[in-house]
Amino acid sequence: MSPIKFVRYQSPLKLRLQERRVLLLVGDFITVTIAFLLALYLWSLEDVYLVFSTNLFRQIPGWFYLLPVFFLILISGLYDVRRAADADETLRGIAFAAIISLVAYMGIYFISQTALPRRGVAYFFAGAVVFTLMWRISYIRIFTAPQFLRRVMLVGGGETGQIILRIIKEITPEPFNLVGIIDDDPSKIGKNIEGYSVLCDSRRMLQIITEFGITDLIVAISGRMQGTMFQALLDAQEMGVDITRMPVAYEELLGRVPIRYLEADWILRSFVDQMRANVYYELAKRIVDILGAVFGLLILLPMSPFIAAAIVLDSGFPIFYTQVRMGKGGQLYKILKFRTMTQNAEPDGQPKWAEENDSRATRVGLILRKTHLDEWPQFLNVLRGEMSLVGPRAERPELVEWFQQHVPFYRARLLVKPGITGWAQVNQQYAASIPETIEKLEYDLYYIKRRNLLTDVNVLLRTPATVLGLRGR
């Protein structure tokens, strides 16, 4: 049998997920740069002394150059490829950036003792919103169109394959064009699984790849793989097809680790090997923690008297609340927060999950929890080294012990310090059930496995949107 010649139309616009993130960042950078230059030009037209030249760049205040960076920070949540492909999410994200920009500028305007270039700032933010919106809508129309999506085949239609199929069906818009399934089980050939057809076995894989212009294969075989399938996958890779294992695809699509679908020894074979962080990262993280904690406490100091007065007037003393939490390696420490619940909120001493609009919370407490202001005293825990700015949410020892019995790999989240904010917090609200706790743990383990300074910065940049979006309980 002569080898199949692989001829495939590979559009340069059929980008992988990481390539799409880079494209979004480059496009946003170009749009805010255009808005910045246009703002300077329009500003210069209003003043004969401000000529649009190199002299103008020397005359404008230094902080004006930070406006493009500030705007990119505000829309950082839109670098999630799934959100970026959703028109409604895009509109909400850009509208949020516009509103926060206006509020921030108005605040600076009223407390500043010097004149501010109001029109120059207004020109920039108007241009940034319009140009970014135009670019993002263009991105959605082009890169979510079927002809620009990567063409994918799933290898394995068993239980593991069905899991990834259900995930793909739940994602809107679809992340890629799933053509069908390849499986060596003769009883599955021609059948329909989760809405997708089983087209062939491994013997016809290369032919199907050529016929359908397949760019990627997702391998979802959890058991033993036949020799013919293994060889077909090697041949496909030589042909230029990208091959991804199901757990990796799961992580890329959802930003979570699939703990419910992996073997019991996975945490030793994969997770522990990949979660190690080098000493330079740990040092840099600690420096960032200290600087961030000091900055947070400086902001908290002028706010504290007003928060304290509100708590006392609403429900009396105490103002602060301490509780034992479990930190890195199972070490116990006392977390510090503003009190948000009534006294003796747990009269039986049994810990309870936080609920939406928790009945145990006071009126002021509900506001503090919604805005996450109750968490700010934890910057003292960060300074003491008990917590970090970014990490899994700290839990009570009783809950940790209970979760260990019901949630697989739960104790793995104790491999790092708990954080004030974290990957799970910016991607999911508080967990109030076992399934939600498992999902939250998947986010936590994804962070632990892939943590680095870039991930930490990403979480910190997305946290204001979470806080200002009033997503707390």
Q: What is the DSSP letter of 271?
A: I
* C-alpha to C-alpha distance for 464 and 426, rounded to whole angstroms: 9
pLDDT at 333: 95
Beta bridge partners of 336: 322
pLDDT at 16: 83
CATH number for the domain harbouring residue 214: 3.40.50.720
- Given 198, 221, 254, the domain boundary residue is 254
pLDDT at 275: 62
Average confidence (pLDDT) per 10 residues, the chain, 473 residues: 44 77 94 91 67 64 82 85 88 86 73 61 90 95 86 92 89 88 92 92 92 93 86 92 90 85 59 69 93 92 91 88 92 92 66 63 86 89 95 91 86 91 85 82 89 88 70 47
* C-alpha to C-alpha distance for 78 and 75, rounded to whole angstroms: 6
**């695809």: which residue's tokens?**
249
Are 310 and 375 contained in the same domain?
Answer: yes
* C-alpha to C-alpha distance for 283 and 287, rounded to whole angstroms: 6
Are 243 and 299 contained in the same domain?
Answer: no
Strands (E), 126-167: 151-155
pLDDT at 134: 96
pLDDT at 468: 64
pLDDT at 314: 86
Are 222 and 137 contained in the same domain?
Answer: no
Are 447 and 387 contained in the same domain?
Answer: yes
Determine, yes or no, domain membership for 211: yes
Are 249 and 287 contained in the same domain?
Answer: no
Determine, yes or no, domain membership for 111: yes
Are 171 and 296 contained in the same domain?
Answer: no
pLDDT at 473: 45
Per-residue CA distances from 29 to 32, 40, 71, 121 (Å): 5, 17, 10, 17
Determine, yes or no, domain membership for 207: yes
pLDDT at 350: 62
pLDDT at 261: 66
What 3 state SS string does 190-237 have? CCEECCEEEEECHHHHHHHHHHHCCCEEEECCCCCCCHHHHHHHHHHH
443's tokens: 């986010």
Are 119 and 158 contained in the same domain?
Answer: no
pLDDT at 76: 82
- Given 143, 171, 206, the domain boundary residue is 143
Are 171 and 139 contained in the same domain?
Answer: no
Are 232 and 155 contained in the same domain?
Answer: yes
- Concatenating the DSSP letter of every residue in 55-83 gives HHHHHS-GGGGGHHHHHHHHTGGGGSHHH
Are 126 and 184 contained in the same domain?
Answer: no
- Given 127, 143, 159, the domain boundary residue is 143
pLDDT at 8: 47
Domain that holds residue 199: 150-254
pLDDT at 32: 94
Determine, yes or no, domain membership for 376: yes
Which contiguous run of DSSP H or E holds residue 37?
Answer: helix 17-45
Determine, yes or no, domain membership for 84: yes
Determine, yes or no, domain membership for 259: no
* C-alpha to C-alpha distance for 220 and 218, rounded to whole angstroms: 6
Pairing mode, if any, of strands 151-155 and 177-182?
Answer: parallel
Determine, yes or no, domain membership for 269: no
Are 68 and 189 contained in the same domain?
Answer: no
As for how many domains the chain has, the answer is: 3
- Answer yes or no: are the C-beta atoms of 128 and 68 closer than 8 Å: yes
Are 339 and 314 contained in the same domain?
Answer: yes
Residue 303 phi, psi dihedral angles, 5° rounding: -85, -25
Determine, yes or no, domain membership for 6: no
